[in-house]
Amino acid sequence: MASLGEKGLTAASVDMPNYFYILRNLREEEKVNSFNSFYLLKDGQYYFKGQPEYEEIYKDYFLIYKDILDGKRYIEQENDKWLIENNNDYKGAK
């Protein structure tokens, strides 16, 4: 799960879904620089799948993933806090 969307919306100071705030917290508080299915880059140190540091962060990302794709709502019960449907700044395809 990339943090590019969260970084862009944070830099633009616009409203964003709650899961982006969780990603921002992981990036800022936990010092997560990068995360994918093979490794975690945290505070300049690499941790690989199977290592305790990787598995701890994986749990957080997995909950977000399940909430978004499966609609399980482990983290946030209120759908309107996950999705922004009335965004006047959005310029979609016409």
* Tokens 């936990």 sit on residue: 30
DSSP string, 61-72: HHHHHIIIII--
Which of 1-5, 71-75, 90-94 has the weakest average pLDDT?
90-94
pLDDT digits (tens, 9 = 90+) for 3-61: 678 888 888 888 887 778 888 888 889 899 888 899 999 999 999 999 999 999 998 88
**Residue 7 CB: number of other CB atoms within 10 A?**
14
Cα 5–chain centre separation: 9
- Report the 10 Å Cβ neighbour count for 14: 12
**Rounded distance between C-alpha atoms, residue 5 and residue 39, angstroms:** 20
**Confidence at residue 90, expressed as pLDDT on a 0 to 100 scale:** 56
| Residue 56: how many other CB atoms lie within 10 Å | 13
The reported pTM is 0.62
